[in-house]
Amino acid sequence: MNLDLLLLAAADGFSYAGLLFLVALGLTLIFGVQGILNVAHGSLYAFGGYTAVSLTLWLMEHTQASTPLLFAALIVAAIVAGTVLGGVLELLLRRVQGKDPVLQLLVTFGAFLIFEDVQKMLWGVSPMSAGELVGRLGTVDLFGVTYMAYQLLLVPGIALVLFLGVHYVLRFTRLGKQVVAVAHNREVATALGIDARKVGLLTFVGAAILGAFGGALAAPTTTLVPGIGADMIVLSFAVVATAGLGQITGAFIAALMIGLARSVAVYMAPEFDVAVPYLIMVAVLLIRPNGLFVVAQARRI
């Protein structure tokens, strides 16, 4: 692989890792606070993407929308889709909170199947994209290689900002400390006066918005088709399993590992690009069954 291809692979990898991290971050937040492995999280990615495409295409067709307004529409679409679907899912999963994990998994899988059908009813099965947005930010020359600024700067930059933002909220805000307390010990947090149900709802909706935001950011660079949510949730599970369930920093690093490795595979051995994320996951789990960044904890009796 020559230098130009290596730079392209790195740029592709950072962009792809940014999208992976946004979805995996929401997934790991839900598990950390609610203890639920949410299979339906992939539907949030798909709905965020479809809502973003519909809104931006409508704005471009019926108004003289500026570039900042169109990018703001991506954020609005993610917030709307994430809030609505996240609220519905949280109310549904509240009924199985603390019950058999298999039941929780079946409920989220059933919700995923329903959302897939609703998605087809609303947008059909024809491919959709908002590719015109990518060109509005122009290009960037990176060591002689021309690359789209949207993929090279915006997506990884937003992922990094959100990573730092979530860390700040969890460490330095009242709500963040309540989230950490509920995640660590729900019963003790409730005894201390924390409304665990409210904290769970806010966390779930916030995580849902992150998943939908990943889809909204992918909308200008990806053709949306039925099943895209399933593809993303499987890859997000690989990221979360590699990092360890509930590990935010670990998810960030694992997303970088998988994104860069898959991008390099696309250029060097494209027949293996689909398998690379899972090979990394298997290799990690064989050495550290709980994930790279999970540390041993005292067992609570």
pLDDT in tens, 104-124: 889 999 999 999 999 999 999
Q: Which residue has the higher pLDDT, 299 or 161?
A: 161
Can you give the pLDDT at residue 143?
Answer: 65
Average the pLDDT over 222-237 and give the result. 89
| Tally of CB atoms within 10 A around 122 | 11
Distance CA 58, CA 56 (A): 5
Distance CA 77, CA 44 (A): 11
Does the pLDDT value for residue 1 go beyond 60? no
Query: Largest Cα–Cα distance of the chain, in whole Å?
Result: 63
Distance CA 163, CA 25 (A): 8
Query: At 126, which helix (H) or strand (E)?
Result: none
pLDDT in tens, 25-52: 999 998 888 888 889 999 999 999 999 9
Distance CA 130, CA 12 (A): 19
Average the pLDDT over 58-63 and give the result. 88
Angle in degrees, 0-180, between the axes of helices 174-184 and 155-172, rounded to the nearest 10: 80
Say what the pTM is: 0.90
